[in-house]
Amino acid sequence: MIAWPIVLEHGDVILRPLKFSDRREWNEVQGRNRAWLKPWQATLPSGQKPSESFMDHLRYQNRQARSGRDFGLAIIHEGKFAGGITLGNVTWGSARNAYIGYWIDSSRAGMGITPTAVAMLSDWAILVGELHRVEISIRPENAASIRVVEKLGFKQEGYRVRFLHIDNDWRDHVVYVITEEQVRQQKLTTQRPLIHSRHVA
């Protein structure tokens, strides 16, 4: 099972569970980035609008973490709330896999925060959480996210047609994957530069 809660740190980037004290910053960042995030955030096929309430989001994340299947973390950069990242759909048994999803404040895009966060969480999930495989599904139009995963050694595995409902329609996604063998090999050959994270129970 995944140990929870966790705090991961590397340089000026911290990943930790969302807290009630994040409410003001979360609301400000989400509000300011609504148009920036719209092409990439999931919507409901029923047409019903997902709740944008911080408290609903916090309760949902806590409930999912207790279930042992989805673990949402705030991305903190230089002490400020900068985005979110999730290790989701954790599956054990003979699969031992999960996915990672993330978003970043537009004012902090291009600063290396997202690659650091993805590297920390994927390395932790595999090397500490004992998962075997982590995947990230990305819309083919999202060139910035594709650069992130390719930089970190995720390999393109396939194409999922009309995979997720995003921005009010079913959207195709490209699937990128990294496995335990790849992570350990990259650590040994120093091909994975953003792996120096600390786990605090």
163 touches 172 (CB < 8 A): yes
pLDDT at 155: 96
- What pLDDT, in 10s, does the model give residues 100-114? 999 999 999 999 999
Counting DSSP H helices and E strands in the chain, the numbers are 6, 9
Annotated domain spans of the chain: 7-194
pLDDT at 196: 42
Reported confidence tier of residue 192, pLDDT bands at 50, 70, 90:
very low
- What pLDDT, in 10s, does the model give residues 124-181? 999 889 999 999 999 999 999 999 999 899 999 999 999 999 988 999 999 999 999 9
Q: Which CATH architecture has domain 7-194?
A: 3-Layer(aba) Sandwich (3.40)
DSSP per position, 17-48: ---GGGHHHHHHHHHHTHHHHTTTSB--TTSP
Degrees (nearest 5) of the Cα angle 200, 20, 43?
100
